[in-house]
Structure 1
């Protein structure tokens, strides 16, 4: 088997598994069973076979970088490739080793192939959607949450003197905190700027787009 054949086979696995999705590879970690299967399989390969796989992984790694515009831009600027690319290359190495090791069980083959074949890719859109704005006091919704916590603390103090009053204050504090938390989580920022007035229901999204 030639290095080019191994490279093309690994590319085919990625395309079949992830399609045209581009982003961050999310692969499962190496457990003890996979680690043992890896050691057993690699020990059965000759030095020439290991070098063959190493040569095949070089163009495969370049291909992974090229298909991801962000990774390609990062590497072009002189920075190292993203860690998830290196992780995917290691998973591909396990996959190639599983195909070449002569005396490993079907279960061990499945373990070595699974990391590359059962992962997922988190796209840029998904990654950005999962990010939340930082907890900073210059964010009005964070300040709202802080006020809510302060009211809850005040309610706890009042509860020692007047239970009913303390309970009502606590409920109010929780309501304020939850309101602020939901607004902060959504990433929305209200504004009193005339052309995006809160009195007209205007909202400024995090990306700066105006929504009326």
Structure 2
């Protein structure tokens, strides 16, 4: 990922937080049959390794896990994003030398993709993923709410993913390369949008 200095995010706890906030990531691997990608919910174990370890699962029928990976895998975490119109810049009225752009947050994590089908490990992964996403609900559902035999049968249809992170890149592009006046204009314009994503980005722009 190309990361100009103004947009580089190197703080590891911040990167981990951005990863946790991404509900659906994309696992990308290079194989003899070409690039393969799968959208996946993942959880991050920060204490496993210097950059932490990612866990998730794929459908057993998914060919991605069966293909020999060529080198490391990459997991893409995409955070808040919004289109930025040149009309949001006060400098447009001064000299007109402005163009459209996009504000966004992205984290790329790299490492070896390890797949497993041990039933106990799979149960731990699906339980932790379920607890993570059900935890905010008023009446959370738990894996233990379903019959044991049913869950065991479901586990036979998936394979687990373990990806120890060997390197990580972060990019926070939030108009930092613009003047304070232009940043304020972008924040105001996005805050007035009828799009939830735009308003979320507006709150992240330094003014």
TM-score range normalised by the length of the shorter chain: under 0.3
Ranked by relative contact order (alpha carbons within 8 Å, sequence separation 6 or more), the top structure is 2
Instruction: Using structure 1 for the length normalisation, give the TM-score.
Output: 0.21
- Relative to its length, the structure with more strand (as a share) is 2
- Looking at CA atoms only, which structure, 1 or 2, has the larger radius of gyration? 1
TM-score normalised over the length of structure 2: 0.21
Higher helix share: 1
